[in-house]
Amino acid sequence: MLAKRIIPCLDVKDGRVVKGVNFVNLRDAGDPVELAALYDREGADELVFLDISASNEGRATMVEVVKQTAGEISIPFTVGGGISQVEDMKRILRAGADKIGINTAAVLNPDLISDGAKRFGSQCIVVAIDAKYNEELKDWEVYTHGGRKGTGMNAVQWAQEAESRGAGEILLTSMDADGTKDGFDISLTKAISRTVGIPVIASGGAGKVSHFYDVFTEGEADAALAATIFHYKEIAIPDLKKDLISRGVKIR
């Protein structure tokens, strides 16, 4: 069994970290470079930066933030948000990111996954999937545009296609669980973890230490991502890791 990873997520808007509930009601959570350095010191295994300001100005800000962060940390970090062509990937990787996260752009143009994987290697390409349970379909539906637009696409099938096109990892966010602190969406995570051969990062819903244990054991996730509980010091990464190790979970 591969060692499990703990990954703080920084949603960056106009150069600041923000956090909301179910993708809305954002509040300020601090400076991204300072937070990244803190998580590196605390023993996070990786970091994810999501640029949620979609303007060109947001892009320029993000490149600067990536450069500054790369100089402060030694752990791998993924950057996503507004990356819609291979040239965007190149710019962010050059600025110091280790991996690229693509979401809406990959749905609109699935060739972006294969083009990116060909150019930079599958290990660099993380396909982010925002999924919500659809009562009519009786299955999980893929959403794009920051969770605002339903696509009618089946999330499990899209994860399989992303893998077949060269994605190296899936970053799976449950929109139903996001920001609720009621626990990760175990059934969604398990459904996708069992149908792809690449690592799945579970996201959305972390509220306490036991939630991480559940998503690693029952949900079969390879990594777990959280934001609110880390940013607002509700759970410290060293304590979380200690608890998981004591329960027999192999941690990086």
Structure tokens at 204: 């959305």
Task: Quote the strand ranges of 72-124, DSSP E.
Answer: 77-80, 99-102
Coil, helix or strand for 157?
A: helix
Beta-bridge partner residues of 24: 21
Catalytic residues: 11, 130
Task: Quote the strand ranges of 52-199, DSSP E.
Answer: 77-80, 99-102, 125-134, 139-144, 149-154, 169-174
For 16, residues 6+ apart whose C-beta sits below 8 A from its C-beta are: 28, 29, 30, 31, 32
Torsion (CA) 215, 221, 225, 226 in degrees, nearest 10: -10
Residues 204/182, Cβ–Cβ less than 8 Å: no
Residues 112/81, Cβ–Cβ less than 8 Å: no
Structure tokens at 32: 């991204």
Q: Which amino acid does the sequence have at 44?
A: A
Residues 146/52, Cβ–Cβ less than 8 Å: yes
